Amino acid sequence: MKNLLIAKIKQLYHEYYSLIFIPDGGKPFFEIKLKKLYLYIFMMLVISSTTYSIIMTNITSSSYSTLASKETRAHQLESTTNFQKQHIQELEQEFDKINDKLNSLNNLEINIRTIVGLANQSASVQVSRSSEQRGEMIAEQQSVLDTVNNLDEVENINTQLDSKIEEIGTLIDEVEERLKYLDSYPDQWPTYGRTTSTYGWRIHPISRRRDFHTGIDIANSYGTPIYAAGSGKVIFSGYKNGYGRTVIVDHGYGYKTLYAHNSTLLVNKGDSVKKGERIAKMGSTGTSTGNHCHFEVIQNGTTVNPYKTLE
């Protein structure tokens, strides 16, 4: 086989292709001889070069397309990563706001408990985010996004917290006003003793005539303490015709109380008194048949039965 190939090559070496050129104008023709072997080698080189160029062009084009696709994907991933980082930062800011509002709610609860005299049993609730947890959050950002869904949901929580804080603030104002009212309401008995005369029509013990008794009489020994039935401001402290030494307290909300026939007055006009504070001592001054406290409750300018407010 090898010898046959060598013989074929030698044959081609001695064989020629002739190219005859015939010029115009009667000029003599000329001939160019090309060895077949050289011509075949040249053609093989041309075909090989062309094939190689085509293959390399396809490979280069494919590589460029792949590189461009990877570059585009890299830009997309970078854009997505930046968006997620920004989203997480916004979530962290919202969590900070939620923490502040949870602290506000906790403080409001403490205030309410303080106002109504309850022990503080609340525990501060926070959305904890230590540096380690922040790293976990970034590492599991998809899980975070799945849990929270999106920033709109967090903002919705913030809005609800704002509304709840406002409601609790209003509740505190109402509770404070209610407690102030209850503290001022004249429901505490002004002294200890025996009720000798009730509210309403009766026979006067001195004039022996039928008259309207505008309060209740509570009898006890001389000097028995007299207490304010509710918190308020003293608007009268002195001697009043028929009532003797008298104290009148304005409790607000349309209520006033009167304490008459005292032996000693312990407060002055303009003083602020607390419910249960001592304001006088029992006596028998004015029109009186013995040591007692005449107690009246005035509502919107009219006396009412003290039993209406007393516990």
For 158-183, what is each residue's pLDDT tens digit? Answer: 777 787 778 777 878 888 888 899 99
**Is the same domain home to 83 and 68?**
no
Q: Is residue 20 part of a domain?
A: yes
Q: Do 264 and 281 contact (CB within 8 A), yes or no? A: yes
Beta strand extents in the chain (DSSP E only): 16-21, 30-35, 194-197, 200-203, 210-213, 216-219, 225-227, 232-240, 244-252, 255-265, 272-273, 278-282, 292-299, 302-304
Question: What per-residue confidence (pLDDT) applies to 116?
Answer: 65
Which CATH number goes with the domain that contains 225?
A: 2.70.70.10
**Is the same domain home to 271 and 250?**
yes
Q: Of 52, 74, 96, at which residue does a domain stop?
A: 74
**Is the same domain home to 35 and 93?**
no
**Residue 74's pLDDT band (cuts 50, 70, 90):** confident
Global pTM value = 0.57
**Residue 105's pLDDT band (cuts 50, 70, 90):** confident
Q: Provide mean pLDDT across the span 288-294.
A: 95
Q: Is residue 289 part of a domain?
A: yes
**Is the same domain home to 117 and 22?**
no
**Is the same domain home to 298 and 211?**
yes
**Is the same domain home to 203 and 297?**
yes
Tell which wins on pLDDT, 234 or 37.
Answer: 234
**Is the same domain home to 214 and 155?**
no
Q: Of 129, 163, 184, at which residue does a domain stop?
A: 184
**Residue 132's pLDDT band (cuts 50, 70, 90):** low
Q: Provide mean pLDDT across the span 124-130.
A: 46
Q: Which of 8-12, 13-17, 84-88 has the highest mean pLDDT?
A: 84-88
Token pair of 108 as six digits: 């409001």
**Is the same domain home to 66 and 93?**
no
Print the domain residue range for 257: 194-308
